[in-house]
Structure 1
Amino acid sequence: GLRPAAEPYARAARRGAVVAVDLPSGVDADTGEVPGVALRADVTVCFGTYKPGLLIDPGASYAGAVQLVGIGLEPPAAEVTALQHADVAALLPVPGAESDKYRRGVVGVAAGSATYPGAALLAVAGALHGGAGAVRYVGTAAEEVVRRFPEVLVTEGGPAGAGRVQAWVVGPGGGE
């Protein structure tokens, strides 16, 4: 954590944009632990390599957007990789002219309920915006799901009767 003498400065820094250099003050570089008061950054600029504490909560939630700046170091091969937006985008397949919903993948959603339809709607919206070829919904919020997203394939009953699905989103809001 921060030394007591630094705490007033950390509180004052909350009034504007905060840029941390290498690591937000008060966050343990190796574990991400925050044993006391810590500075919450909007952006953390780190040099040479990422510190594990920037990638592990609670430290990650104090780091804001993390930007790595190369300084000519050759770090050892990483045991763990933190994917950035560009890394994930490069891994996703780009649909071609021959692509159909099955080649792009079908996501099954078993979430929400008649009591908690918002959970179903959020999970379905995420699957649709994530680039799935099709989304299949199973659950008791089917009426709300189809009203908001008529393109979703709705199945009565459980996941066993849903048909072809490559990945499932299960929960939240499944309780009545």
Structure 2
Amino acid sequence: MTTVYMRPAIKTDLKEITTIIDGARHFLKAQGLPQWQSGYPNEETVATDIALNRGYVLVVGSEVAGYTALIAGADPVYEAITEGQWLSDTDEYISVHRFAISDGFRGQKLAQRFMTAILTLCYHKNQFDVRIDTHPENHPMQSVITGNGFEKRGVVYINEGKEINGERWAYQLILA
């Protein structure tokens, strides 16, 4: 059996992560979604994540198979939730952003394993409030999110390149 684990992203992962993000961008475009079609996230975004120690990779064997950014603290996008509300009023939460799996590993249920590793890390760091968002038509990501116990809490809006006020469904999980 191949080893699967999550670790902090490092500078030498940058090209592989950029390839993963580009593949995810094409996957979303093929589904007809505007999500990530404006050039964000990009290499600069990921380099910043790595420099700030908030980027993580999923490793399968010796290959980088996935990427995410885990951002602690208040997220301005999440402060203006509509059509619902968060379960807590705290600024002490982790936002999961830029979650992507490599084209070469898509369909192997690794996104579920990656999310489990993320939640385990959050718990280990005593960060029990975890939030994430995705496009209303991104059904594969919604499946990963709800399949890991997240609950839809409302709608948030992002400004991403040409997609101004892009609607996103917002989810939350309180780890007990």
TM-score, structure 1 normalization: 0.25
Indicate the structure with greater strand content: 2
Q: Which has the higher contact order (CA 8 A, sep 6+)?
A: 2
Indicate the structure with greater helix content: 2
TM-score, structure 2 normalization: 0.25
